Amino acid sequence: MAKTTEKLKETVQKELEKMKIHIPESVVDKLVARIGRKKVSIKDLRNVLKEVAEKFAQHMIEPGEAVGIVTAQSIGEPGTQMTMRTFHYAGVAEMNVTLGLPRLIEIVDARKTPSTPMMEIHLLPKFRDDRKKVGKIASEIEITKIIDIAEVETDITNMQVIIKPDLKKIRKKEITMDNIKEKLLEKGYEIESNKSTISIKSEPSYRKLHALATEIKVMKIKGKDGVSRALIKKEPEGYVIYTEGSNFAKVLEIDGVDQTTTTTNNIYEIFEVLGIEAARNAIIDEASKTLQEQGLNVDIRHIMLVADLVTNKGTVESIGRHGVSGKKSSVLARAAFEITVNHLLNAGVVGEDEPLVGVTENIIVGQPISLGTGVVQLVYKPKR
């Protein structure tokens, strides 16, 4: 069954190329599904394709349509219906994720770190059902501090900090005394140890001793920076690890992690690790999800436009005056947006020109804009 549809699709696309018509793939798919198994001659097919192309052209958005304003209103209007408060995510076990309007604001402001960073870590097919292996990977990721696996005491008489590892906890986390010693040596501490304790000498001052103890207590022994918690959940296709905190780059490198489907809600990390196109897709996904969760149905085209605008310059820019809006070349447009006086003053001092090309500045000045009707300039040609 699939073979004939594939062949048909190929034939259709070949004919389209010969006829020099362009029809998007989704329309071709629909056409192919409609034709099904009926036998169509090439002549008939060509006629059909011509008609399809005509109909498609009638359905396309007209050049000059003020798409930006339509998008802004289409996203803004449902935005007024979203709650300003965030509430607990009833889905993923006890995890607190920013939802609704605050999350949408984070995305549009291109914040480098979201307020509730979260990763969804998938594992390679061969490990997906192995609870033990999944548990091991989870402990590789979740941060373990010295205080979690040992008692840290200050020995005032000898001016030293004593670490007493709890053997049960250590074994559970698959850490050894030697691991702890290595980490301390890496960080440059001078240690003395016996079978059950490690001690570090401090400088002869009560304050320094206390400071040293605090340092040691919060020192990371295991796990990736930034990840405070890792939860394992059983999903239909296998175990999945959800984390509070995100370190996309480091987690992808871990053995056993599926590098193709693991994701994070930190858009900036996606940009750094996977590139600008991936960031664009992530923005679309996150914004869509946020709106859908609130029960709002916004056509994805509007979100795609925003994502395209934000990623146009190759990096993830915010919409506000530090990003897209601030880069406009028109003085009047920037002055009309925020910080009015500064822009006008600087422009005056430097002697900037205002070419009156964009929408905002032409509205201010009272001239027709270059969108919609204004995309065309009419010239009167008198009859001789």
Partner 1 sequence: MLLSGCADNPGKPGGQGFKSPQARGSEGFQGERMKIDVTKHKLVPEHVLLSDTESKDVLKKYNVSRDSLPQIPVTDPCARMLGAKPGQIIKIIRRSQTAGSFTAYRMVVEA
- The residue ranges that bind partner 1 (CB under 8 A) are 24-29, 124-125, 252-253, 255, 258-261, 263, 270, 272-278, 281-282, 285, 300-301, 304, 308, 311-315
- 3 state DSSP class of 261: coil
Q: How far is the CB of 176 from partner 1 (least distance, A)?
A: 25
CA 95 to CA 97: how far, in whole Å? 6
Find, among 16, 247, 282, 298, the residue nearest to 142 by Cα: 247
Nearer to partner 1, 45 or 304 (CB): 304
Nearer to partner 1, 40 or 124 (CB): 124
Nearer to partner 1, 8 or 146 (CB): 8
Do the beta carbons of residue 247 and residue 220 sit within 8 Å? no
Tokens of 89: 């995510």
Nearer to partner 1, 58 or 194 (CB): 58
Cβ burial, residue 149 (10 Å; 0-12/13-18/19+): buried
Nearer to partner 1, 304 or 363 (CB): 304
CA 312 to CA 258: how far, in whole Å? 29
Q: How far is the CB of 80 from partner 1 (least distance, A)?
A: 25
Nearer to partner 1, 359 or 364 (CB): 359
Taking the CB of residue 346, how many other CB atoms lie within 10 A of it?
13
Q: How far is the CB of 26 from partner 1 (least distance, A)?
A: 4
CA 159 to CA 367: how far, in whole Å? 79
Q: How far is the CB of 166 from partner 1 (least distance, A)?
A: 34
CA 75 to CA 71: how far, in whole Å? 6
Q: How far is the CB of 184 from partner 1 (least distance, A)?
A: 27
- 3 state DSSP class of 233: strand
Q: How far is the CB of 274 from partner 1 (least distance, A)?
A: 5
Phi, psi of 140 (to 5 degrees): -70, -25
